[in-house]
Amino acid sequence: MSFDIRPACAADAVSCADIVNTWIDGTSWLRRMHSCTAITEMITQAIDLREFWVAGDPVVGYLSFNTETSQIMGLYTAQPGNGVGRALMNRVKHGRTWLILWSHAANLRAHDFYRREGFVEVGQKRDGADGIPEICMEWRRVAA
């Protein structure tokens, strides 16, 4: 399946926030720390600060990437399992040799996805910013 991947603009922040807020509200192990409005504001700021890609029109997923640290800061899709995450991941991998990300330890479905994408666990911490343990995963381009 093919998805139109393009750089995000400020107008995409509401759609991206809706995806995150739906995920938060549907995740039993995650308590809401920020209001829906605050999440929209955080995403609006991140669009200006990071490499930020969206998929689809209307937006069905996004990936936020810190180019200074090579860290994926967020990857969210409206309907996991339909190829949007893979399309976004392929976009951020393009031209790069190394990526890193942190993921909630309880987010086993995400870990399965990252492993399929070639990421391996390289570390962990007891408490992330939201008090939930996290694991660190990295990806390295395999030389041909």
- For 37-70, the pLDDT digits (tens) are 999 999 999 999 999 999 998 999 999 999 999 9
Pick the CATH number of 5-140 from 3.40.50.300, 3.30.70.20, 3.40.630.30, 2.40.160.20: 3.40.630.30
Domain boundaries, the chain: 5-140
Query: Residue 79 pLDDT > 70, yes or no?
Result: yes
Q: What angle do CA 137, 101, 25 make, to 5 degrees?
A: 110
Q: What share of the chain is helix, strand, coil (3-state, %, to 5)?
A: 35, 30, 40
Q: How confident is the model at residue 132 (pLDDT cuts 50, 70, 90)?
A: confident
